[in-house]
Structure 1
Amino acid sequence: MQVETIAQQTYDLKKELKKMAQQIDQALVKALPEEEAIPSIIHQSMRYSLFAGGKRLRPLLALAACQAVQGDQNKVMAAACALEMIHTYSLIHDDLPAMDDDDLRRGKPTNHIVYGEAMAILAGDGLLTRAFGLLAEAAFAEAKGQSAEVAQRYLQVITEIAQASGSQGMIGGQVMDMEAEEKAIDLPTMEYIHQHKTGALIKTSLRTGAILGGGSHEAIEALSAYGEYLGLAFQITDDLLDIQGDTEKLGKPVGSDEKNQKSTYPSLLGVEKAREAAEEAVQSAVEALEPFGSEAELLRQLALYLLEREN
C-alpha cells in the first residue's frame, strides 16, 4: 500500500510542531516547582527528564485534537502538560535496572544514572502526582470562574487519564510486557500489550483535546479511532527503529528489545510485513479524519510523518 509522503505536502509540519512544542515547554516550566525549591534535588531530577528533549507527542496530540474540533487551546494546555508529565514519569521508571535497565534516554544519561535509583523513582512519583494536581487545579479554576461546563469536562478527562495510565492501561501494558519477556507470545497478546502500554495514553491525549475543546460525540469518537490507529503505527515504527535505527538519532540504545528478549511486530511478522502493517495503520488513521476539514491537517500530516521518522 502506498501512502503519500510528507515530502509531497505543502503543509510545513516541522515548523508547526516546533512552534507548538515551544508553547508546551513554556507552560511546563511554569507547571513545576523551580529547581531551587526545597528539596531542590527532587525538582532538579524531575526537570532533568522532563526537559531532556522529548518529542512532546502526547501534548501535541491533545492540542491538535482541540484544534480539529475548533476549540480553545488555552483550555487544554494544563492537561497537555499533565500528559507529558505522566509520559515522562513512565520513561524514568521504564529505564530503571528493575525494568528495561537502559542507560540512555533522549540522547542523555537516564535519570537513575545521574541521580541514583531512589531519586529517579521519586522523580517519577513526583511527576505523576504533579500531573493530577495540575489537572485538578485547572478544573477548580474553571469552576471558580463559573465555567461549570468546562470544569465538568475536566473531571471527565481526569477520569479517562487515570484509567489510561493505571493498571488497566499503561501500567497494565507494562506488566504484561514484563511477563512476556523470554516467552513466545502470539499477535493478539502483543497487540493487547501495546494497546495498553503505548496506545492508551496516545488515544486519551486525543480524547482529552477533543473533550476540553468542546467537540461533539461524533468528533470525539472519530479522533478516538484515529488515536487507536496512530498508536499502532507508532508502536510498529518504534519496533522497526529498535532494529534498524541509529542510536545517535534515536537518543537511546538500539537492540534493547532483542536484549530483553521481547516479542515485537518485526519478530512476529517479519520486517517487511511489519512495515506494511504500519502503512495500513497510518492509512486507517488518515481515513478516520474524513469528517474533518483543514482544521485536522496537522493530525493527518503527523500520521504520515510516522512512516519517515528517525527518532
Structure 2
Amino acid sequence: MNFEEQLSAKVQQVNDSLLSALPSREVKPARLHEAILHSSEAGGKRLRPVLLHAAHDLFPGSTDPMPAAIAIECIHTYSLIHDDLPAMDDSDTRRGQPACHKAFDEATAILAGDALQPMAFELLVSGYQNIPEVALDLVRMLAETAGSMQLVGGQMQDLLSEGQEPSADNLKYIHQNKTAAMIRASLQMGFRLGEKGGDEDLITIMGEAGNSLGLAFQAVDDLLDVTQTSEELGKDAAHDAESGKVTWVGLLGEEKARELATTHTEDAIGKIEQVGGDNAFLLELVRRMLERTH
C-alpha cells in the first residue's frame, strides 16, 4: 500500500476501535453517551492515535497498541470538548459540526469531557493488565501529560495570556504543554509498546521528536487560522486573533512562523531517523503534517 492507503487504513481501524470501546447511545444516561459519541464520531485526523501506531511500528512487537491509541484519543477529545466551552475558547464549531456544548448544553459537554478522562485510563489498565510494568508506564505517561503541568497547565496559561503582550518564551511554554505534550506522549507510548520499548535512551529521543513535531504542528495551526476558511478548517477561522490569543503569526508574522514550523519539522525528522527502525510511514506523516491545509 502507498502512504495514503496506509493512513486511511490506520484511521479507519482507529475509528472502528474507538466506537467499539465507547458506550452506545442506548446505555444510561443516554444523553451523556450521545454527547460523547457526537464528539467522538465527528472524525478528525486521528493524528495522535496514528502517531502512536507509527511509533510502535518502528520496532513492532506482539502487544496491540490500539488500547493505548484509543486512550490518547479519549483524552484529546475531552480536551477539545472543554476547550470549546464559552468559559474557555468559546468556539461554536468543531470538526465541521456544532461543538458539543452547542449540540447539547454546557453542563452535558462538561460531563462528556469528564467521562472521557477515566475511560482513557480504564482502557490502559484493561488493555495491558497482563503486562503490569508496561501498563504502569503508560498510565504514568498519559497522566503526567494530561495533568496540571502539561495539557491542563498549557490551557490555563493560554487563557491567562489572552490580550497580553506576546512573548516568545510564554508562547513556547503554552505550545509545549497544550499541544506538543500530547504528540510527545503519542510517540513515547507507542514506542514503549514495541520491541525496544524498554530502551530509555530511545524513549527520550522519541520524546524530543514529539516535542519538536508538536511545536511544528502548532505553528502550522497558527498559520491555518489566518489563511484558511472556517469551512476548510472545520472550526472557527481567525478565532485566535478575535479572542486576543498569542500566536506565532501574531508574534513573528506569517513568513517567520512558516520558517519556525519547517525548522521544528526538520528537527523531528532528524530525531526519528536517529532512532531508526521501520520509519518510512512515520517520516512521511511528519512531512505531510507540515504541508497540511486543515
> What whole-Å deviation, never above 9, does each CA across 1:13-54 have from its counterpart, x for those lacking one?
222111001111111122111110111111111011011011
Equivalent residue, structure 2, for 1:51: 41
Match of 1:124 among 86, 110, 113: 113
Q: What amino acid does structure 2 have at the position aligned with 1:212?
A: L
Equivalent residue, structure 1, for 2:215: 232
1:285 Cα shift?
A: 1.0
Q: Give the 3-state SS of the residue equivalent to 2:291 in structure 1.
A: coil
> What whole-Å deviation, never above 9, does each CA across 1:277-297 have from its counterpart, x for those lacking one?
111111111111223556111
1:214 Cα shift?
A: 3.5
1:194 aligns with 2:175: yes
1:212 Cα shift?
A: 1.5
1:42 aligns with 2:32: yes
TM-score norm. by structure 2 comes to 0.96
Contact 1:75/1:213 (CA < 8 Å) preserved in 2?
Answer: no
1:217 Cα shift?
A: 2.6
Equivalent residue, structure 2, for 1:278: 261
Matches within 5 A, 1:118-197: 118-140=107-129, 142=130, 150-197=131-178
Matches within 5 A, 1:1-311: 12-72=2-62, 74-140=63-129, 142=130, 150-215=131-196, 216-293=199-276, 295-311=278-294
Distance of 2:76 and 2:220 partners within structure 1: 18
Contact 2:273/2:279 (CA < 8 Å) preserved in 1?
Answer: no
Q: Please, which moves more after superposition, 87-96 or 293-302?
A: 293-302
Percent of residue pairs identical: 42
Q: What amino acid does structure 2 have at the position aligned with 1:248?
A: E
1:61 Cα shift?
A: 0.8
Q: Give the 3-state SS of the residue equivalent to 1:199 in structure 2.
A: helix
Distance of 1:116 and 1:232 partners within structure 2: 33
Give RMSD over aligned pairs. 1.3
Q: What amino acid does structure 2 have at the position aligned with 1:257?
A: D
1:218 Cα shift?
A: 3.3
Distance of 1:300 and 1:231 partners within structure 2: 14
Q: Structure 1, unaligned stretches of length 5 or more? A: 1-10, 143-149
TM-score norm. by structure 1 comes to 0.91
Distance of 1:255 and 1:289 partners within structure 2: 33
Q: What amino acid does structure 2 have at the position aligned with 1:107?
A: G
Distance of 1:98 and 1:221 partners within structure 2: 36
Q: Give the 3-state SS of the residue equivalent to 2:278 in structure 1.
A: helix
Contact 1:164/1:200 (CA < 8 Å) preserved in 2?
Answer: yes
Contact 1:45/1:120 (CA < 8 Å) preserved in 2?
Answer: yes
